[in-house]
Amino acid sequence: MNTRPVLDPYKQPFALAAAFNADNSFFSVAHELGFKVFRSSSCEPRISRDLSGGIGCADMVGTTNYIILAGGGKAPHFPSNKIQIWNDQQQKVVGSLELKAPVLRVRASKEFLIVILPFQVLVYKMGNPPQKIHFYDTLENFYGLCSFEDNIVATPAINPGQVRIIRPVDANNSPRVTFIPAHNTHLRAIALNKKADMVATASEKGTIIRVFAVESGTKIAEYRRGVDEAAIFSLAFSPHDKMLAVTSDKSTVHIFDLPNGVQKAADTDPKWHKYGILSKVPLLPRQFSDTYSSASAHFEMGDELGGWSPQSKAATAEALSKWSPERIPTKGLLGWLNDSTLLVIGAGQDARWEKFVVGVHETGKKFIQSVAWKNYLD
C-alpha cells in the first residue's frame, strides 16, 4: 500500500533536467522557474535563481561561477535555441550564442563548450563569445546523448549504434575524429570514464551494455542487464574504473564489475552467476552464460503526472515518440562520489536525490543499498 502523501503539482516547479559538474561535487537542476545548484554529497542548495521562466538545461563549468543555460519548458525564460553564459557572481548573463535549432544539452569545461542539437553536435573553444571549432552531423539525438571527459567527446554518429569520438584539439591543434561501431540499433546511453580511455554504451533495446577502449575501439567487456527491453537512463564508471553503474526505466540500478576490478572472480565462479552451474553448460542460449550485474537495487523514479513509472511499458524510443524533448525529464542520472558511494538524481514533478553505498558482504558477494533520499525541490 502506498502511504506517501499525494503530490500537489502546483506546490513545486517541474524540474526539466539535471546534470553533474565535472567532478560530481555539485549537480545543477533546470526547472520551470529558473535553476538551482546543490552540493552532491548532502543535497544542500548552494545556488537558487528564480528567473520567472523556464530553463531547459543548466551546466556548470567545473566549480566556477559560470553556468551555461538554455531556455525550456512551457514558458522559456530564454529562447530554446540560444546559449546563455551566466556569471553567478554577478548574477547576470555575460555572453550568448544563437543556434539554428533547440538546444538539448550542453557540456562545458574551461577550454571547450559542447552543444547538442537534435541532429548536430557543435564544438566551441570557450570564450566570450565562444569560437566554433567544428560541427558534426548525427542521427536524431532527442535525448541529447553526449559524454565529455578530459576534453574528449563521445556522441552518436550518423550510423545507428555508432559512437563518434571527438578530440577537439590534438597535437596538430586540429580536431581528430574516430568511430566505434558499438551496436546495431540506435544508441540510448553513452559514458566516458574520467580518464576518457574507455567508453560504455547501450542501445535502445537496453539489454546489452558494452565497454570499449577509446583509442583502439576494441571491445573490453560486454554485460547483460536483462532479457526484457528497457530504456537505459544513465551509465557511470566508478572513479578508479573498478565498476560500471547502470540505471533503467525498470527502476533498477545495476553494478557491473569491470575487468581487473575487485570482484573479477565473480565472473568465472558459477556460484556468483545468476544461473549458477547452467552458465557453464554449452549450447544453451547466450543469456545463460552472459555476464550479469554483481549487485542491484531499486531506486525511486518518482510519482509523475504521466509518462514515467516503473509499471509502464519500457520507455524505448518508440514508446517516447509522442513526447517532445522538453517534456522528457532527466531520470536515473548517475554520479559517483567515491568508489563506494553512488548518487541517482531524477527530475520531473517529483524530483529526487538518492544516495547508495556499494560494498562486499562477508560471503564475498557485492551489494548496493539505499541510505538516504530527498525531494530536493521541496
pLDDT in tens, 326-340: 457 899 999 999 999
Domain ranges in the chain are 231-378
* pLDDT value of residue 302: 75
Q: pLDDT digits over 137-178, tens only?
A: 999 998 999 999 999 999 999 999 999 999 987 556 678 899
C-alpha dist (Å) from residue 97 to 128, 221, 245, 278, 329: 9, 40, 34, 57, 24
Q: In terms of pLDDT, which residue wins out, 3 or 23? A: 23
Residue 295: pLDDT above 90?
yes
Q: Quote the CA–CA distance of 23 and 262 in Å, as a whole number.
A: 23
Q: pLDDT digits over 203-216, tens only?
A: 999 999 999 999 99
Residue 72: pLDDT above 60?
yes
* pLDDT value of residue 271: 52
pTM value is 0.86
Quickly tell me which residue has 564489475 as its cell.
257
* pLDDT value of residue 139: 93
Of 129-143, 222-236, 240-254, 260-274, give the lowest mean pLDDT range.
260-274
DSSP structure string for 159-195: STTEEEEEESS-TTSS-EEEEEE--SS-EEEEEE-TT
Q: Taking residues 70-81, report their average pLDDT.
A: 94
